[in-house]
Structure 1
Amino acid sequence: MAATEAKRTGRPPAGRLPAELTSFVGRQREVAEVKRLIAKSRVVTLTGVGGVGKTRLALRVAAEVRRAFSDGVWLVEFATLDKAELLVQAMAEALEVRSRLSRPPIDVLVEHLREKQTLIVLDNCEHLLPDCAVVVDRLLRSAAGLRILATSRQALGIAGEQMLPVPTMSLPGVSPSGEPVASTARCDAVNLFTERALSVQPGFSVTEANREAVERICRHLDGIPLAIELAAVRLRELSLEHLLDRLDDRFRLLTAGSPAALPRQQTLRSVIDWSYGLCTKQEQQLWARASVFAGSFSLEAAEDVCSGNGIAREQIVDLVIGLVDKSVLISEGYGRTVRYRLLETIRQYGRDRLRESGDEVWVRRRHRDWYRELAMDAEREWCGSTQMEWFARLRQEHSNVRTALDFCLTLPGEVSAGLVIMTALRSYWIAAGLLQEGRQWLDRLLAADTEPTVVRAGALAVNARFAALQSDLDPVAPMLEESRSLAVRFGDTGAFARISYASGLAALVKRDFEGAEASFQEAARHYRDLTDLMGETYSLMHLALTYSCLGQSDKAVELFGTCVDICESWNEYWLKASLLYVYGIEMWKQGGVARAIEMEHESIRLKQPFNDRLGIALCAEVLAWIAAQVGEFERAARLLGALREMWRSVGEPLFPYLVAYHDKCEQVTRQHLGEKRYYKGILEGTKLGFDWVLTLAWKETTPVEQPSQEGARSSPLTPREMEVARLVARGMSNKEVAASLVIAQRTAEAHVEHILNKLGFTSRVQIAAWVFEDSSSRSDAPGSAGRRFPPGEPGLRRS
């Protein structure tokens, strides 16, 4: 493959791959072959039995070739996705593609990838095969620079696909390809067994005394990596001889009377059967019940969901420890918390056992109920100092929320609970940039059960709000009409408040500012009667924006200031970030350039922990307008170019009443630079991409008092700790930090702990605030001029 922008500029490669938590053993031949296939084909599918190592091989190859793809290497995991309807949404989410407009997600994805040099790893495609094949084919036909590396039990079956069956690991005496292997030391299966045995039995090695036993174990397991890893961990409680004896007994029983070799699938199933048989009855029950979780889960969730019917709540923690010791459950650290997950093959096995037990519906309903309560807790506590922690937690639980919602659509009579979840999480769907997925769930739930209820009234208003935020006005009126009818019938004041608010948003999009003013005033009154301060503040913020559009600046500034005061008194981050974005536009319109810059910078800082790339880009758009106004035309052009790629992908997200400012910025910039210099700047910005938008946005566009060099703080952190702190400030988890810096996750966790201790902090939010405050005190930092305020510190109050 040709040299890329990443190599030319020296910028770190984009994309997101997980860090390797255990060593990668062997597979040199397979790695080389996959690289060769990717070089000549645009879609490569690794096939093979579950547990053979398809995912691990794909990720290793992806990591090694990532610098060949200037726009990144990305992992999309389908294992926890039960419904094909969300396949494209899952891909967009993994690629950090967010759109607030009502467009088919596949169109958004196509536009995002059209001009990019990208490799996407699609993991576990087999249960979504037909839909996955259709999507991949569409993307490949539309994006010439796209390559796909997929893992599946079978091929996708599309034109141009290269398929590589992943063999089992080489065994003593002969390799899977039939070639002789000279020594045990060159056998991948033996090396993997040894590597994993060391983790439970330090000092373990293959010697002349135990060589035959190790080789026989690996042969019995047919060189299947998952089977070898499950067996190796047994050395914690068994000797090699005892381990071999039990494998002999098990397989002799399974193959009695048959001279044929063991099928590999049967071998894997047998190893899992054997691991299951080594568990106590209660561990077996927990294994089966834990299979209802998608992705990872907390101990608290396991205690609530999996207890009962033979397992007391207080027994769960010991049973979890037992399953971790047996390598059935995998524990993963997330800062100061630990979560657990099942490998997908192990999870599917557990799900089969759960169905056989007859407890599947009972456990899935408990799972749904737990996440309904979580959603309601999040709604109550969303506005306050723990907002970012709640956001991070909900992102971790996203797959489980999907599973809970799917259960609500599976059985009659369960839809109402799904509507409660969706209504409670309305702020999360907006903050996460997942309006389209939120609408899909609401559309399906509302269509599945049309029984008139109070819950339905509120859900219809929320769905109308989502549609209005996407500027998709056709479905808004009928949804609000039905919601209003139900609200009148049941006397639901909460629904009236949401109806008025959604009506105001729709009026804003239509530029019906008088109608918007009346609706937001009504919404504010309803929320005030409900003592819902945050609902009232949202309404007042949009009322202020409406006044701004009407040219009533004094009213707008007064209301904006009131809303800022409320947010600061509550330590509210998300609403304040959105508020400062529109408040900054009003300040700029009044000629307060320095104040406007300060507000847009503060908004960007608050949006970063939410990874709100679209919201950050909107702030950067305003800063481009300001750059053009103060004569920094080349920087304005580069900003417009960097943003153009995003707008082309997701559609212009500006409300109609703001588009004129964008057009004016383009016109003035082109006029002053001339066509040649203007398009040169646009092209430069386009090549830089979104990651450089922040660098361009932080640079000041007007003289503001600069802090003296003497005032700059010397950082108490090491250079590596500063790297970690900056990634934490961007909203990355420890796992993502580890992947970005190519270090072990536990190393990333240790760095974060050291940072917290050195700075005397207790949360990642404080680290984010410190990073940006620290950068503002350094004269050589991007955006160093101008003061920024950490969450909760008084600042930007009304004039």
Structure 2
Amino acid sequence: MGTGVPLGGMAGIPADLTALVGRRTEVAEVRRLLSASRLVTLTGAGGVGKTRVALRTAATVTRAFRDGVCVVELAGLRDPKLLAHTVATALGLVNQSGRATLDVVTGHVRGRRLLLVLDNCEHLVDACARLADTLLRAAPGIRVLTTSRHVLGVTGEQVFVVPPLPTPVPSRRPSVRELLTCPAVELFGRRAAAVLPGFEVTQDNAEAVAQLVQRLDGLPLAIELAAARMRTLTLDEMLARLEDRFALLTLGSRTALPRQRTLRALMDWSHALCTERERALWARVSVFSGGFDLGAAAAVCAADDLPAEALVDVVDGLVEKSVLTRHEHGGRARYRMLETVREYGQDRLAASGTAAAYRRRHRDHYLGLTAQAQAQWFGPEQAAWFTRLRLDHANLRVALDYCLTEPGEATAGMRLAVTPRHYWITLGSLHEGRHWLDRLLAAERAQSPARATALGTYAYLGVLQGAIEEALPALDEYRAAAEHLEDASALAWARHHQALAAAFRWDLPRAAALFEAAATGHRALGDLGGATECTVKLAIAVWHLGDHDRALALCRECEAVTSAHGESWLRALTLFARGLLQWQGGDRDTTDGLAREAIRLMRPFHDWWDIAMCVELVAWSAEAAGATRRAAHLLGILRSLWETIGGTLSAAPFMAESHQRCEDAVRAALPAGEFDRAVRRGAAFSPAAALAYVLEEAPAPAPPPPRRPAHTGPDAPLTRREREVAGLVALGLSNKEIAASLVIAQRTAENHVERILAKLGFTSRSQVAVWVHEGRQGESASGAP
């Protein structure tokens, strides 16, 4: 009677042909999950590297499975009825009996301790789920690791989403050394050097490499396909062609699966796995940028073929298939796509002939959303609305771009760009606000209420940036338009903007008169927000005109109004104003506390312009209290804040004299050179860390550690063998290649590398390479052999 007997060796782990880059954390986490669960599924977008992570994980745990690791590649299998047969073949079995093949496999693994890796399960997910469940129930000694864009849904399954590789932060310009520690950059550098010998990331090409991997979302397959193009294109040429990335990225390995040879084939594979409704939603949500919630999806994408009540299930299907990723913000679920996945969806939407209609629906949704935010701005929902709009900032940009590219839509774009009224200020992006408004004003010159408001906001942002002379003609035009339109609200705001320009030019009598008239106009219209804002600024003006009692009374009035309505932003401005006035009046004991409370209220808004003015008060208070190093750190934070928002303290002359007095006193109190070093340390803080330090939630910035070159003497941080391994790491060898070179076990080589990283405090092999290179340069410069 025939039985299932071994046909040959079990399908083990394929050898790596190239080094796995930047996945140490992911491999460690998957190992942890495997230790706690018998079924682990790796999900993620196509091309993200699920298979590589799974195989590397399997290679690191082989000793835990006395009967070995069996890898079953399923990408080429189409018939789910052949799944058990494929697994049996991978296990080295041949079924010569009349028994069902699954029974043969189950009998073989029962009593064994092995790891079964099922790679690429998404198109056979039901069959894989049944097989995994059957084997796990029958054989307590086996564990199953799967890769799939669709979770299996088996009881006890642990899911790990493999993320794209980290990319450089877009807003920063890191050094080459920092870039080389970025996994996406390291991967591109390695693969590009393989096709273009001598290529390396340098100061000259660092910015282009950073942009390239950012625009490819850190997707390993996309990065590798781009690197292959280095045979024929330069980095700049590739960046220019990324608008059509699916045509550009077509040079995959000839030995790769067909769907992994081009990016479009990979996306086609994912698309084919979706239902009709999922494909429709994939195309329609591609009009969003940076993410969306269910409400936005329903408003923009629902139609007869995709009713709103079905959206939850359809979104769930796309999340399950890794087309969408889910994140949570403030108790609300948001969804987003990798840019590569989004562009594929846009291609599908364009092919359907409905792209213009859905782009318009997208714009209309955000017009309504921003109008609702304006209506509720002065009240307890203010911070929540700002957070919501900030999360949707990329969508607002897309909507504004639509208004500029579609004929006849510029007026709607102007309404969008000025609502809510203080959006660009609280966002801390004065330059971007002026950029959009300048383009919209140029696109539509016909007079209208929307154009008048856009003109006024454009000029107001210019005043805040310190470009007062440039803004004055626009302010005059805005006021004339308000009078012509007989728009009382616009006229009140025109007076406010002109008052601020007068204050910044130190024409205080004119500023006070205009602020008072503006406050009266807003109050007559029932606009408490506008009236309060003008009153706060009136208080500062009348203080400097000598009426101190009235100034403080106006501040108390504003505090009472904002408190009664649960408003945060103007309350923060009022606290700042009172702190400033009391400082200038000699009552300095409460200034620091008022300024820091104002910062806490402004923090959710990211209102860096007004936060910077509050930090001024905190710095002055620190210097007056004798905390000179803290004051120097705060002055450094101030420099960084003003650079970030594109403004200058010169836009607020009522603070300039005190600022200079503080800086001179701190410089004189510190030893030579210490002032500049302390300022640099403060300027190096990220915005979040800077606020934590200002509010005394974090310690002072530590001095940078001294650079230590690679040593060879007795005080070296590494042993002789570890230095030898480090040198091979610097040459780009994988752990397997290091093991072969030194005639040691691969696991021993891995242990050496882990110890090197731990001793040096590094997180990547590229950091080790830089460390070794610097040590050799240091030895060469000193004449060391």
TM > 0.5 fold call: yes
Matched, 1:274 2:272: yes
Q: CA deviation at 1:487?
A: 2.1
Q: d(CA) in 2 for partners of 1:301 and 1:686?
A: 39
2:296 to 298, 301, 305: 301
Q: Does 1:574 align with 2:563?
A: no
Q: How does 1:252-263 map to 2 (within 5 A)?
A: 263=261
Question: Do the aligned residues in 2 keep the contact of 1:387 with 1:573 (CA within 8 Å)?
Answer: yes
Partner-residue secondary structure (3-state), 1:294: coil
* One-letter amino acid matched to 2:460: R
Task: Name 1:370's counterpart in structure 2.
Answer: 365
**Cα displacement (A) at 1:435:** 1.1
| Residue in 2 that maps onto 1:344 | 339
Shift of 1:587: 1.0
Matches of 1:607 and 1:116, distance apart in 2: 35
TM-score after normalising by structure 2: 0.58
2:764 counterpart residue number? none
| Structure 1 equivalent of residue 21 of structure 2 | 31
Q: Say which of 518, 525, 529 aligns to 1:530.
A: 525
Q: What is the CA distance between 1:508 and its match in structure 2?
A: 1.4
How far 1:644 moved relative to its partner? 4.1
* Native 8 Å contact 2:462 2:468 kept in 1: yes
Q: Contact between 1:51 and 1:345, CA under 8 Å: does it hold in 2?
A: no
Alpha carbons of 1:327 and 1:691: their partners in 2 closer, same or farther (altered >3 Å)? closer
1:120/1:147 contact within 8 Å kept? no
CA distance in 2, matches of 1:500, 1:359: 45
* Contact 2:465 2:647 survives alignment (8 Å): no
Find the aligned partners of 1:541 and 1:116 in 2 and give their Cα distance: 48
What is the number of residues matched between the two proteins? 509
- The equivalent of 1:652 in structure 2 is 648
Q: Deviations over 1:19-64 (max 9, x none)?
A: xxxxxx9998141799xxxxxxxxxxxxxxx953499999xxxxxx
Q: CA separation in 1, counterparts of 2:594 and 2:16? A: 53
Structure 2: distance between partners of 1:647 and 1:682? 14
Question: Could you tell me how far 1:553 is from its partner in structure 2?
Answer: 1.6
- From 663, 668, 690, the counterpart of 2:665: 668
Superposed, which structure 2 residues align to 1:479-628 within 5 Å? 479-613=474-608, 615-628=610-623
- Distance in 2 separating the partners of 1:617 and 1:118: 30
1:671 Cα shift? 3.9
Pairwise CA distance, 1:532: 0.6
Amino acid at match of 2:648: E
Q: Is the 8 A contact 1:446 1:456 kept in 2?
A: yes
Cα distance in 2 for partners of 1:74, 1:507 equals: 48
Cα distance change, pair 57–454 in 1 and its aligned pair in 2 (3 A): farther
Give a deviation string over 1:622-671, Cα, whole Å, max 9, x none.
12212323433343334334444555675633512211111111223344
For 1:690-733, what per-residue CA distance to the aligned partner results, in whole angstroms no more than 9, with x for missing partners?
A: 66655654469xxxxxxxxxxxxxxxxxxxxxxxxxxxxxxxxx
Distance 1:306 1:431, change over 3 A: same
Q: CA deviation at 1:417?
A: 1.1
Gaps of 5+ in 2: 1-14, 25-44, 54-164, 189-201, 217-225, 240-251, 698-785
In 1, the alpha carbon distance for the partners of 2:288 and 2:310 equals 19
Residue matched to 1:208: none
Give the aligned partner of residue 187 of structure 1. Answer: none
After TM superposition, the score normalised by the length of structure 1 is 0.57
| 2:159 counterpart residue number | none
The structure-2 alpha-carbon separation of the partners of 1:55 and 1:123, relative to structure 1 and needing over 3 Å to count, comes to: farther
- Kindly tell me: are residues 142 and 279 of structure 1, through their superposed partners in 2, closer, same or farther at Cα, counting changes over 3 Å? closer
Q: Are the aligned partners of 2:536 and 2:573 in contact in 1 as well (CA < 8 Å)?
A: no
Where do 5+ consecutive residues of structure 1 fail to align?
1-24, 35-49, 59-72, 78-90, 96-108, 127-138, 163-174, 179-218, 225-262, 701-799
C-alpha contact 1:116 1:143 (8 A) present in aligned 2 = no
Query: What is the CA distance between 1:76 and its match in structure 2?
Result: 6.2
| 8 Å CA contact 1:471, 1:506 repeated in 2 | no
Q: Structure 1 residue 447: deviation in Å?
A: 0.7
Change in 2 beyond 3 A, CA 1:635/1:365: closer
8 Å contact 1:521–1:543 — kept in the other structure? Answer: yes
Q: Percent identity?
A: 35
1:229-264 CA distance string (max 9 Å, x none): xxxxxxxxxxxxxxxxxxxxxxxxxxxxxxxxxx53
Aligned to 1:723: none
Q: 1:526 to 1:326 in 2, by over 3 A?
A: same
TM-superposed deviation, 1:676: 6.0
Give the 5 Å matches for 1:694-733.
694=691, 697-698=694-695
What is the CA–CA distance in structure 1 between the aligned matches of 2:477 and 2:282, rounded to whole Å? 45
User: Would you say the 8 A contact 1:458–1:498 is kept in 2?
Assistant: no
TM-aligned CA distance change 1:26 to 1:550, over 3 Å: farther
- Corresponding position of 2:407: 412
- Which residue type is aligned with residue 655 of structure 2? L
- Tell whether the 8 Å contact from 1:439 to 1:463 is kept in structure 2 after alignment: yes
1:720 is matched with which residue? Answer: none
Would the aligned equivalents of 1:423 and 1:458 in 2 still touch at CA under 8 Å?
A: yes
- Asked whether the equivalents of residues 609 and 642 of structure 2 are also in contact (C-alpha less than 8 Å), the reply is no
Q: What CA distance in whole angstroms lies between the structure 2 residues aligned with 1:385 and 1:669? A: 40
* C-alpha contact 1:122 1:148 (8 A) present in aligned 2: no
Distance 1:661 1:466 in 2: 25
User: Would you say the 8 A contact 1:122–1:149 is kept in 2?
Assistant: no
Matched AA of 2:626 = G
Q: Conserved in 2, the CA contact under 8 Å of 1:121 and 1:149?
A: no
CA distance in 1, matches of 2:696, 2:318: 52
Query: Structure 1 residues 32 and 408 mapped into 2: Cα distance closer, same or farther (>3 Å)?
Result: closer
User: Residue 653 of structure 1 aligns to which amino acid in structure 2?
Assistant: L
Q: Structure 2 residue aligned with 1:631, among 626, 630, 636?
A: 626
Shift of 1:506: 1.0
Tell me which amino acid in the other structure corresponds to 1:531. Answer: G
**Change in CA separation of 1:658 and 1:530 when aligned onto 2, cut-off 3 Å:** same
State the match for 2:452 in structure 1.
457
Q: Which residue of structure 1 lines up, in the alignment, with residue 700 of structure 2?
A: none
Conservation of the 8 A alpha-carbon contact between 2:411 and 2:450:
yes
Kindly indicate whether the alpha-carbon contact (under 8 Å) linking 1:328 and 1:346 is maintained by their aligned counterparts in 2: yes
Query: Aligned-pair RMSD on alpha carbons?
Result: 4.1
d(CA) in 2 for partners of 1:487 and 1:359?
Answer: 39
Give the Cα separation in 1 of the matches to 2:355 and 2:653.
Answer: 50
Does the 8 A contact of 1:333 with 1:339 survive in 2? yes
CA distance in 2, matches of 1:143, 1:593: 49
Secondary structure of the residue aligned to 1:340 is strand
- Counterpart amino acid of residue 622 in structure 1: L
* Counterpart code for 1:543: L
Give the number of the structure with larger relative contact order, counting CA–CA contacts within 8 Å between residues 6 or more apart.
Answer: 1
Query: Larger Cα Rg: Structure 1 or Structure 2?
Result: 2
Q: Secondary structure at the match of 2:586?
A: coil
Tell me the equivalent position of 1:316. Answer: 311
Alignment of 1:213-252 (within 5 A): 220=257, 224=260
The question of whether the paired residues in 2 share the 8 Å contact of 1:379 and 1:425 is answered with yes
Change in Cα spacing, 1:118 to 1:391, as seen in structure 2 (3 Å) is: farther
The C-alpha deviation readout for 1:526-583, integer Å capped at 9, x for no partner, is 2112111001111111111112332322221111111111111111112222222232
| Cα distance in 1, alignment partners of residues 685 and 297 from structure 2 | 45
Which letter does structure 1 place at the counterpart of 2:262? R
Secondary structure of the equivalent of 1:297?
A: coil
Q: Deviations over 1:405-443 (max 9, x none)?
A: 111111111111111111213322111101111111111
- Residues in 1 aligned to 2:510 and 2:695: alpha-carbon distance in whole angstroms: 37
Q: Answer yes or no: is the 8 Å Cα contact 2:499–2:512 preserved in 1.
A: yes
